[in-house]
Structure 1
Amino acid sequence: MNVFNQLSIWLSFQLSIIFLIGIPVILFFWSIKKRNKAVNKLLSIYWKISLLFFISLLLLIGNYSYGLVITNISTILMTISVWFWNDINDEFKEYDFSYYLITMTKIWRWSLTFISLNFLILSLQNFSCFSFINSAECAIWLQPSSNLYIIIKNLFNFFFGANFTQPIAKFLGLFSLLIYTLGLIQWSIIKLPKNGRNSCFSEYGRN
């Protein structure tokens, strides 16, 4: 793996932290302050979907062979979740650029789409890492999760006086993945046929 590829992967992870976590947190509290139901509902759904991203980090910490596959699935689902809802999209169209919360949310949606696509392209360029994440050439993909592992390990030791190991991370990741998958299947079978692409954000009245 050349230096340029390593730098691209490192930069992609840094941008992911900003646009997948940092900016949505800001927009979420901003929407609460402005009492904007559409943005608030969009981000509430987004955070539920984004749990898979955090699960994938646990799997990468545990050196799970298919951790990178789960990471890419999570970013794709997160991107779909911010474009999927017809009622929210229609609501956004009613605002002009002077309403900064909606404008920033629109910019963030496009940025998220670009970052997810870029992450997928980088992953496909290192296709062998989809199933052999523990190989030497895939070490760069584990670096961000390794840094997170150190933080979680120290916190775990501090609060519980126990050692947080990679096998524990893998077990928690796989267990969480099972629960998440069951929840997603339940939503697909029960709620999706009932509501379709309607998020029901205006169920209790509009702004």
Structure 2
Amino acid sequence: MPFPSWLPSLVWTDYRLALLFTVLFPLALLLWTFIAKAEAMQSLLAIYWRVSSLLAITVYLLIGALPVGFVTGWLARLLIPVSLWFWADLNEEISEQPSSRLKLAFTSWRWAVSIYCGLGALAQIPVLRCAFLGANTLLGDPFCRLWLEPPWALREAIHATTKPFFLGFLALVALAVYVLYLGYFVVVRLGRQGRSATGQ
């Protein structure tokens, strides 16, 4: 299927923005919250990192050219904003904190990553068709291969001697653990705690 000439640069830009909004900024904020002893923000960031680990799993699924990676990447973009705004007790505690540079930076990032993920989820709806292709068909589809190129470049940079299939297998194991944990949270913890992250 032909695609616009600007699409490859857009795909690479999306991966760079993901690195910025979902890895570098929250990592810097996490360090800042530890220095400032901002416990509510620390708790929310800890939840964020657990949820956003699905993005890392997605990258390794795509390194292995596993079609399920297109679904997990889309779901991660939906789950991240939910994880950042769902908790009523943390939202209240953060909003009641006095104004500070940390609070401004944290709130700005929370809105920015939520908007980025929301727009990304909408933009990636057409890409979901790649999840329903067989492995050989996926590799032969120029449109779907566009989304595989950045993960493959990452593999060349940090896993050059490791087989893509093995990395994909490890990602499947990690995905199974993630699904089990998410299922436990939805079935057990959510019923007990509701929208309270602390259970109080």
TM surpasses 0.5: yes
> After superposition, where does 1:181-192 map in structure 2 within 5 Å?
181-192=179-190
Is the Cα contact below 8 Å between 1:152 and 1:164 reproduced in 2?
Answer: no
Look up the match of 1:140.
146
Q: Distance in 2 between matches of 1:3 and 1:68?
A: 22
In 2 relative to 1, CA 123–150 (structure 1 residues): closer, same or farther, beyond 3 Å? same
State whether residues 12 and 115 of structure 1, in contact with CA within 8 Å, keep that contact through their aligned partners in structure 2. Answer: no
Return the alpha-carbon distance in structure 2 between the equivalents of residues 153 and 94 of structure 1.
45
**Runs (5+) with no aligned partner, structure 1:** 155-162
Q: What's the offset of the Cα at 1:3?
A: 2.1
Residues of 1 paired with 2:128 and 2:94: CA distance? 38
Return the alpha-carbon distance in structure 2 between the equivalents of residues 150 and 8 of structure 1. Answer: 21
- Matched to 2:166, the amino acid is I
User: In the alignment, residue 151 of structure 2 is paired with which amino acid?
Assistant: S
Partner residue, 2:32: 30
> Partner of 2:192 in structure 1?
194
Which residue number corresponds to residue 176 of structure 2? 178
Q: 2:70 touches 2:128 (CA, 8 Å); kept in 1?
A: no
Q: Which amino acid aligns with 1:191?
A: R
1:63 alignment partner, SS class: coil
- In structure 2, the partner of 1:115 is 116
Aligned equivalents of 1:117, 1:13: Cα separation in 2: 15
Q: Give the Cα–Cα distance (whole angstroms) in 2 for the partners of residues 43 and 111 of structure 1.
A: 15
Native 8 Å contact 1:62 1:166 kept in 2? yes
Superposed, 1:47-86 pairs within 5 Å as 47-86=49-88
1:151 paired with 2:168, answer no
Partner of 1:169: 167
Cα distance in structure 1, aligned partners of 2:95 and 2:45: 17
1:40-79 Cα deviation digits (max 9, x unpaired): 0000111111111111111000000121111111121112
Task: Return the letter of the residue paired with 1:44.
Answer: A
Shift of 1:127: 4.3
Matches of 1:127 and 1:56, distance apart in 2: 13
Provide the TM-score with structure 1 as the length reference: 0.86
Contact residue 64 and residue 164 of structure 2 kept, 8 A? yes
Structure 1 residue 104, shift from structure 2 partner: 1.0
Q: Which amino acid aligns with 2:30?
A: F
Q: Kindly tell me the number of residue pairs found equivalent between the two proteins.
A: 193
Kept in 2, the 8 Å contact 1:56–1:173? The answer is: yes
Q: TM-score, normalised by structure 2?
A: 0.89
Aligned sequence identity (%): 27
1:40 to 20, 39, 42: 42
* Cα RMSD for the two superposed structures: 1.7
How far is 1:36 from its partner?
A: 0.4
Name the residue aligned to 1:159.
none
Secondary structure, aligned partner of 1:3: coil
Q: Is the 8 A contact 1:88 1:199 kept in 2?
A: yes
